[in-house]
Amino acid sequence: MGGHGIVGGHLPLAAGIGFAIRYRGGDQVCACFFGDAAVNIGAFHEALNMSSVYRTPVIYVCENNKYGMGTAFERVAAVTDVAEHACSYDMAAELVNGMDVLEVYGAAQRAVARARRHGHPTLLEVRTYRFMGHSMSDPTHGVYRTKEEVEEEKRRDPIVRLASQLQAEGALDRAAYDTLDAEVLAEAEAAVHFAEESPDPGPEQLAAHVLAE
Ligand SMILES: Cc1ncc(C[n+]2csc(CCOP(=O)(O)OP(=O)(O)O)c2C)c(N)n1
Ligand SMILES: [Mg+2]
């Protein structure tokens, strides 16, 4: 449903989408992604509460990469285990190693099953790391973390880990990996090209998809 400029602003939208799915009797599941910085925004707590009260099929996925912009999560959060918040809202939760693709896949499957079979929401805290700066204005590690920390975390790169796991199991050879890598790069580059070449939307588009048309 798009990206959102306001940190945490989309969590109540996810609760609403979940309610719409339930109301219409659909079998869709709404997956809502947000950073650790969103956890201390009021909308996070309101959305989790409403989703639990209304039993909506929503998966709240917190990508906890230890920093909100340049602020260490532990400096601003009284509760640093995000998954613990779920018990305040009688919601299922899992703490997941986000550097392990298969672990994330397993947790996502369990959350989808919970949503589809029982209409229950889930909070997934996915522990991960940001290898690049937060934005164009943030150099790779800024002053809030060390170069060594970034380099150390890069050793846990989930894509590299999965590739070596698949290679060890004989499921992927070097050539197949390189082809896949080139395909994904080309797809990303094509998307950037499409965005850069597309005309800016006109003012008449401002309220599109905001209100029922
Ligand atoms: C309500 C609000 N406050 C401040 C900002 C400025 N801001 C943009 S991104 C960001 C931090 C986001 O951190 P996090 O959610 O952890 O995402 P990450 O980039 O680490 O994935 C902030 C404070 C904003 N967009 N919205
Ligand atoms: Mg973050």
What percentage of the chain has pLDDT greater than the value 90? 88
DSSP-assigned letter for residue 140: S
For residues 136 and 138, what is the distance between their CA atoms, to the nearest angstrom?
6
Give the distance (Å) from ligand 1 centre to CA of residue 71: 10
Length of the chain in terms of residues written: 213
Q: Considering the entire predicted model, what is its pTM?
A: 0.91
Give the distance (Å) from ligand 2 centre to CA of residue 68: 4
Ligand 1 and 210: CB distance under 6 A: no
Ligand 1 and 134: CB distance under 6 A: yes
Please report the pLDDT score of residue 206 as a whole number: 86
Give the distance (Å) from ligand 1 centre to CA of residue 11: 14
Q: What does the pLDDT average to over 58-76? A: 96
Phi (first) and psi of residue 5, to 5 degrees:
-70, -25
28-45 pLDDT, tens digit per residue, is 999 999 999 999 999 999
140-183 pLDDT, tens digit per residue, is 777 899 999 999 999 999 999 999 999 999 999 999 999 999 99
97-140 pLDDT, tens digit per residue, is 999 999 999 999 999 999 999 999 999 999 999 999 888 888 77
Does residue 88 surpass a pLDDT of 80?
yes
Ligand closest in space to the Cα of 10: 1
Higher-pLDDT residue of 108, 205: 108
Please report the pLDDT score of residue 79 as a whole number: 95
Mean model confidence pLDDT for the chain? 94
Rounded to 10 deg, the angle between the 11-24 and 42-53 helix axes is 10
For residues 129 and 140, what is the distance between their CA atoms, to the nearest angstrom?
12
Please report the pLDDT score of residue 211 as a whole number: 75
What percentage of the chain has pLDDT greater than the value 70? 99
Helix (H, G, I), strand (E, B) or coil at 132: coil
